Amino acid sequence: MSGNDLQGRHALVTGGGRGIGRAIAEALTQAGATVTVTGRDRAALESAVRQGAARGFAVADVTDREAVVAAVREAAAGRGPVDLLIANAGAAESLPFLKSGPDVFRRMLDVNLLGVANAAQAVLGSMIEQGFGRIVAVASTAGLKGYPYVTAYCAAKHAVVGLVRSLALETARTGVTVNAVCPGFTDTDLVAESLDRIVEKTGRSREEALGEFVKHNPQGRLVDPKEVADAVLWLCGDNARSVTGQAIAVAGGEI
């Protein structure tokens, strides 16, 4: 095995039914990996399998540690131990700080931070035993800088980057690497839904609303999910074995 040839590797992608997760699942499958996708939306997961983006799926909420462990156990029973974990599942809420109560911070930490930790803890033991593993967290540029009105989300994504940097040191001699990719605003259905809300609440045109997103990217565009998937694919390959503890921005020069 060399480069991005992932034949014989079993990859698990959380939040793999749509958006960036779906693009990552497709890229890993095309590179030869056997891919399992997890998430809360059974229909989206079934669609990913039906359309060849993944070999199998398990319905699981990443905030539920027992459900994640069960999903990993189910995936391993059918397709072998997980070699590649892509902790992609996440969520964002937009509110002014003074209206962001403890419940908002708790939700953002539960899905964005504990979701990564739960998945990593479920697979790390077997990775260490076999002397190989790749853990890639899909964080965000919000883990590398601040944005207004998403303080809880930014705090949670900063925490993900901290987890990655610490766990990379803890596992440095085990054959496991731990990294994050940090996309800027990406052309997904999540962003499309955000645009719809902005148009509805502000009366702006869709083009004006989109301008608020792309102004952060010096290239003046949304990131393509396939670009994020390509960065993940490289981190999963053998040629990236010396890359660990990194937070790689995929954001057109924003960072």
Active site residues: 153
- Can you spell out the DSSP letters for 165-221? HHHHHHTTTTTEEEEEEEE-SBSSHHHHHHHHHHHHHH---HHHHHHHHHTTSTTSS
Alpha-carbon distance 204 to 74, whole Å?
A: 47
Q: Rounded distance, CA 65 to CA 53, Å?
A: 25
Q: Decide if 80 contacts 10 (C-beta within 8 A).
A: yes
Burial class (CB in 10 A: 0-12, 13-18, 19+), 98: exposed
Residue 78 C-alpha from the chain's centroid: 23
Alpha helices (runs of H) in the chain, residue ranges in sequence order: 19-30, 42-50, 65-79, 102-109, 115-130, 151-170, 189-202, 206-214, 225-236
SS3 call for 147 = coil
Residue type, 161: V
Beta bridge partners of 13: 37, 86
